[in-house]
Amino acid sequence: MSKQQYYYVMCQRGNSIHRCYVQLDPGSADILHDSLYTRYDLVQVCAVARDQVDWDLAISTAPRCTSDQKFLRRKKNAGRHTAW
């Protein structure tokens, strides 16, 4: 597994600008850039040091779910039915 680092992400289409900081591995950052590039006029995905992150713009990643946690969740929800 590649080491994750922080990235500044900015994309602009017309007058609309979106900015955030995310933690990704380098391969995922490349995929994100390529995906955004097809949909926006201007795109930046740049590696930044942790002390340069504006935490008000940071998007946190979801914690990884272990197989034990998945099992316990299934056991807890067993027998429950959700209405659509």
68 inside domain:
no
List C-alpha distances in Å: 64 to 9, 31, 67, 68, 70: 23, 20, 10, 11, 10
pTM: 0.69
66 inside domain:
no
Q: Give residue 82's pLDDT.
A: 46
18 inside domain:
yes
DSSP-assigned beta bridge partners for residue 23: 6
The tally of domains found in the chain comes to 1
Q: What is the pLDDT of residues 34-82, one digit of tens each?
A: 999 999 999 999 999 999 999 999 998 666 555 555 555 555 555 554 4
25 inside domain:
yes
78 inside domain:
no
- The domain containing residue 54 runs over which residues? 5-61
Q: What is the pLDDT of residues 8-46, one digit of tens each?
A: 999 999 999 999 999 999 999 999 999 999 999 999 999
